[in-house]
Amino acid sequence: MQPLKRFLPLAAFLLLVVLLVRGLSLDPTELPSARLGDSLPDFNLPVLGESVSRQAEDWRGEPALINVWATWCFSCRVEHPYLLELAQNGVTIYGLNYKDDPEKAIVWLDDLGNPYTETVVDKDGLFGLDLGVYGAPETYVIDASGVVRHRHVGVVNEQVWNEQLAPYFEAGLTAGGSE
C-alpha cells in the first residue's frame, strides 16, 4: 500500500468531523425571511380597538419593529415584558395581532401593558401570509423607508436585541435608502 493511501481513511474521518461539528452550530429553524430587502407588503388593516385602519405607508419614517403576536401564543407572553422595556426606551414597535380574537387581544394589552405604538388586526392571517409569517412570535425590523431588514423567529430578549435588532436602530438606517 502506498503511504499516502494509508491516510485516506483518516482524512475522510477528519472531513466528516469538520462537517459534523459545523452542523452542531447550525440552527435549521433559522430561516431568513424571503422579504428581506423588499418593501413591507401592502396591507389595509384595522387598528386594534379603534375604527380606523392603517396601510404600509403609515409605518414609514423611522426604523421600527413589527412584532407578530397573539393571545394564544405562549412565547408572546414571555417576551412581552422585554417589549415593554424596549418601548420605554423609545423603540417604535408596531403590533401585528395575528389570527387572534381582537376582544381577547384588548384584554391582554390592558392586563399586561401595551408596548405597541399601535397594533393592527390580521384576523385571518392574510397579511401574515404575505409577509411570510409562519408562527408567533416573530419580529421584523423595517427601516425608515419601510423596507424589511431582518426577521427574528421566537422570543425577543436582551441578547436578541443586542445582537440582531439594535444595529438597525443606530443612526445608519434612520436616513433611509430608497427602494
Partner 1 sequence: MVRLLLSLMIFWSAQSLAVIETYEFSSPDLESRYKALSQELRCPKCQNQNIADSNAPISRDLRAIVHEQLEAGATDEEIIEFLVDRYGEFVRYRPGMDSNTLWLWSAPVILLIMAVAVVVTQIRKDRDGQTISSNAERANRLREKFDGDPS
Binding stretches for partner 1 (CB under 8 A): 28-29, 31-35, 99, 125, 129-135
Closer of 83 and 133 to partner 1 (Cβ)? 133
- Give the cell for residue 63: 426604523
Give kind and range of the element (H or E) at residue 138.
strand 138-142
- Nearer CB in complex with partner 1: 91/122: 122
Residue number, 7 or 134, with CB nearest to partner 1: 134
Owner of C-alpha cell 474521518: 13
The answer to whether residues 138 and 65 touch, using CB atoms and an 8 Å cutoff, is no
Q: Work out how close the CB of 90 gets to partner 1 at its nearest, in angstroms, rounded to a whole number.
A: 31
Q: Which of these, 53, 27, 21, lies nearest to 121 by C-alpha position?
A: 53
Min dist. Cβ of residue 118 to partner 1 (A): 24
How far out from the chain centre does Cα 176 lie?
19
CB nearer to partner 1: pick between 39 and 117 = 39
> Least Å distance between CB 135 and partner 1?
5
Classify residue 29 as exposed, middle or buried by CB count within 10 Å of its CB (0-12, 13-18, 19+).
Answer: exposed
From the CB of 97, what's the least distance to partner 1, in Å?
Answer: 15
